[in-house]
Chain A
């Protein structure tokens, strides 16, 4: 006879428990990262009915389907513009785009830089597993040079993006990088980002033993976690241009940017309405 080992979990009320078990592989970091988001919602004291998750396509994109919030699983690469429409339609919503590196920086790359430029008040959590996991482990814009994937059998010929640098230079007001090992710091960072006015970006490095790890000497999830433990250096305030990732070498993590917010898109939009009202003598 099977026995239920746990009857409830403190996060159950934030999850669609009727959709469990989730589809993520053993050793994947997504579960820990999603837990960090849920805990961060509580720390930041965000009313669940105002919290919205928008995802694109891919393993990380499935997160929207597991949270008991208003949640949108959109098309590949388009989570950010969808979220922008939602945010300007209802500025009281606290919107998080939770998606993967390929979704946000390859097919959706154009949107993330423009969302940062506009300083849309939202949080982007980018789970970087160095490859396209769901489609079987192809190379992506974050795959390290010379790393193996199903479409780089001789090693990747391309240089990867430095995600924090891309976002910082495009105009983000909060930029951080953590790993799925650094759960506590990640949670605090997400809570900060959720409360930060403006465009916040958090990159979270995550093991993908099924697709990326086993081709790149990180056979098990634990191997990548060990690498994160032994080779990450927390250095808050490092200039984002200095945080390139070279696989096998030390990785700099931390909060790189947390600047005084410039006007957000919703603020500039409301200024435009005021101008129209003044012109028509309604204000």
Chain B
């Protein structure tokens, strides 16, 4: 993809893109390895705790796979360069944390409206503002959903271990390339910095996706005319398609048209392309929910003590189950509506003042009561404190 591709670069890229084997690495390093295995060849970022190890690892590894690492002057520049590199044909990403994620919001919107595939890893820390740079938080869940202005749908996923950081990096790129949008990976300081065993599979076992390319000649091509899956094919700059790409509301030619009708048509499609494909995007994990009248819901690092608490509660005889959200956005609304019919209590565990709990309550209020077990950041729940809260209500 990069023009100065000497044969030895190709060979090096081939050999160094997937480091198959068993590794003992941090979540941040695992994410970087997953990104490279997924085909990421551009990283543009700005150092910020607790995500910097992703940038550091990429700066060492990307040149080995004929990729490009750039440290930009700020997060505004980072996300802009990521979008530009994506239109240059490279799978592209950045990594940041709360303050940087805030700065990126405007261009995340540009990525949404111009349908630019890319991945943003947000290794969450305690906020607001500079907050707790070195300590854990999960306060950016709603920002991931609504952080840029205007109506839109988005995809966010959340790993809870270094192994999953590797796996979800690949998943994030595949989703970004399939649905053509910035995909957000909501990591957190604990998952980013914890070190565990990570198995990197053989290259042929890793499924990667690259965006659809135009199938018609330039004179017949409409850059924003979608296929049946509501996603339009995407040319690369220099392909001879002479595309115009704008953050203004645009028609199928990509030309700005400033009226309500064009807005309705474009934005509704951008929303629908996520909504109608939601069943293919959404992923969650369950534990003993079949007979459960009480269910604990969590994600990211909080899911680990939550599952511990549920297992303890089962031993105490409670009919209790557990749901771990792997996909945060789109939220699995239908699934929660359906299971809530047989559930009396939902407990939502997260390190913020109540974000995903709102979604759970919205979808289950008809049949169930929802309880919130929060923390404002800086530390992870213990299984005991989660269990205590559960026992206060249902014990």
Contacts and interface: CB of A to CB of B under 8 A. Distances in A.
B88 A82 contact: no
Interface string A66-103: 00111111110110111111111111110000000000
B241 A86 contact: no
Nearest to A86: B84
Given A52-B237, A75-B110, A89 B242 contact: no
Contact of A16 (B70, B92, B255): B255
B22 interface: no
Give the dominant DSSP class at A's interface.
helix
Interface in B167-221: none
B85 interface: yes
B16 A89 contact: no
A269 B68 contact: yes
A74 B80 contact: yes
Interface string A164-180: 00000000000000000
B72 A52 contact: no
B263 interface: no
Contact of B84 (A18, A68, A82, A283): A82
B35 interface: no
Contacts of B72: 81, 84, 114
Contact of A88 (B6, B15, B63, B88): B88
Contacts of B63: 272-273, 275-276
Contacts of A9: none
Contacts of B256: 65, 73
B73 A84 contact: no
B259 interface: no
A65 B80 contact: no
Interface residues of B, number: 55
A111 B68 contact: no
B47 to A, nearest CB: 15
B52 interface: no
Contact of B83 (A77, A80, A85): A85
Contacts of B70: 84-85, 88
Interface string A43-72: 000001110101000000000110011111
Contacts of B142: none
B64 A89 contact: no
B113 to A, nearest CB: 10
B9 A277 contact: yes
A91 B3 contact: yes
B240 interface: yes
Interface of A: 16, 18-19, 48-50, 52, 54, 64-65, 68-75, 77-78, 80-93, 110-111, 114, 269-270, 272-273, 275-277, 280, 282-283
9 contacts: A49-B238, A70-B238, A73-B256, A75-B106, A84-B77, A89-B87, A89-B90, A282-B11, A282-B12
Given A49-B239, A73-B248, A282-B8, 9 more contacts: A54-B84, A71-B243, A81-B78, A84-B72, A85-B84, A93-B88, A273-B9, A273-B66, A282-B12
